[in-house]
């Protein structure tokens, strides 16, 4: 049985709060992405942070993104092995950061850890840049730590939906499907990553960037709760969140949890799968 704190902790933690955390059972994960990402980690990371790779640790990339998208979830047994290698155990308190305000692999890591059964998981508000600004201690090179006992799980605990389920929900008008990509991608003006521009017919657009203030920090839970309550008024309370490849979608799922709202469904395959699958309806706003 995984460790559960006596009271639910916030999924977001500030650098100043991280500074004051007890180090016992504390594990910090560096989930930055991009070119030469591991070298960037070796050059500089928050002291003690352990490197986690989006493509290798947080996804199991297949041969055809039309079936699973660009970042499908790994098998839960493989993720369990990753956690063991990272030294994560039942009583770990895990802090995750990236350099995209949590909008990239940090939120995906949070979702996967929560879906695995961990409750004591937080994303660093403002990420790597905020940690530098607030004067957290940094280090370089590889960190040394011991493996942890393998934790066995049978299934992901949070709902991750398939393309077929999403399509059925749209057909029956029984869910609200939210596309969190930037509006220009949703509108079909241009598509910098996937093969086709546009969006899933019936999906609405609430860009993940609107979860943040002008400094790249999360808006307060109160503001976020009011904002989403207004945006979703009159719509189905059964939410399905998607993005390009099931990574940034986790930022909005994290946001809704932070706001005290129910954790919604994740469509992992997202636009990268839908737009490649033959015969699926695609819409544009231009």
> DSSP string covering 169-223, please?
HHHTT-SEEEE-S-HHHHHTS--SSSSS-SEETT-EE--GGGGB-TTSPBPPHHH
Q: Which two tokens stand for residue 193?
A: 């990553």
For 3, other C-beta atoms within 10 Å of its C-beta total 14
**What is the Cα Rg of the chain in Å?**
18
CA separation for the pair 90, 249 (Å, rounded): 26
Q: Which two tokens stand for residue 35?
A: 């070119």
Report mean pLDDT in 10-residue bins for the chain, 286 residues: 56 96 96 95 98 97 97 98 98 96 89 97 97 97 97 96 97 97 98 96 97 95 97 95 97 97 97 97 92
CA separation for the pair 121, 261 (Å, rounded): 17
Residue 7's pLDDT is what?
53
Active-site option among 29, 243, 247, 261 = 243
Residue spans per domain, the chain: 12-139, 160-283
What is the CATH T-level fold of the domain 12-139, as seen in this structure?
Answer: Oxidized Rhodanese; domain 1 (3.40.250)
In contact, 126 and 217? CB cutoff 8 Å: yes
What is the CATH T-level fold of the domain 160-283, as seen in this structure?
Answer: Oxidized Rhodanese; domain 1 (3.40.250)
Same fold, 12-139 and 160-283: yes
For CA atoms 36, 53, 251, 61, the dihedral sign is: positive
pTM for the complete prediction? 0.95
Q: What are phi and psi of 73, to 5 degrees?
A: -65, 145
Catalytic (active site) residue 250: no
Q: Which two tokens stand for residue 228?
A: 């989403």
């Amino acid at each position: 049985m995984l460790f559960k704190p006596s009271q639910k902790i916030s999924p977001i933690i500030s650098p100043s709060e991280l500074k004051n955390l007890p180090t016992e059972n504390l594990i910090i994960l560096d989930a930055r992405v991009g070119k030469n990402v591991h070298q960037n980690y070796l050059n500089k990371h928050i002291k003690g942070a352990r490197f986690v790779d989006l493509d290798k640790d947080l996804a199991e990339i297949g041969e055809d993104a039309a079936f699973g998208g660009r970042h499908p979830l790994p098998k839960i047994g493989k993720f369990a092995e990753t956690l063991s290698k990272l030294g994560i155990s039942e009583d770990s308190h895990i802090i995750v950061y990236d350099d995209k305000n949590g909008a990239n692999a940090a939120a995906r890591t949070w979702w996967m850890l929560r879906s695995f059964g961990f409750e004591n998981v937080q994303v660093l508000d403002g990420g790597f840049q905020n940690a530098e600004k607030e004067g957290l201690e940094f280090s370089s090179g590889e960190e040394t730590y011991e493996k942890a006992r393998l934790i066995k799980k049978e299934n992901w605990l949070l709902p991750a939906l398939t393309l077929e389920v999403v399509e059925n929900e749209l057909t029956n008008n029984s869910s609200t499907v939210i596309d969190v990509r930037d509006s220009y991608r949703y509108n079909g003006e241009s598509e910098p990553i996937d093969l086709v521009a546009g969006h899933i017919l019936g999906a609405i657009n609430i860009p993940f960037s609107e979860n943040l203030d002008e400094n790249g920090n999360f808006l307060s839970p109160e503001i976020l709760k009011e904002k989403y309550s207004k945006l979703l008024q009159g719509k189905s309370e059964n939410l399905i969140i998607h993005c390009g490849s099931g990574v940034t979608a986790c930022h909005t799922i994290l946001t809704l949890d932070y706001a005290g709202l129910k954790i919604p469904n994740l469509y992992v395959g997202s636009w990268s799968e839908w737009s490649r699958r033959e015969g699926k309806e695609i819409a544009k706003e231009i």
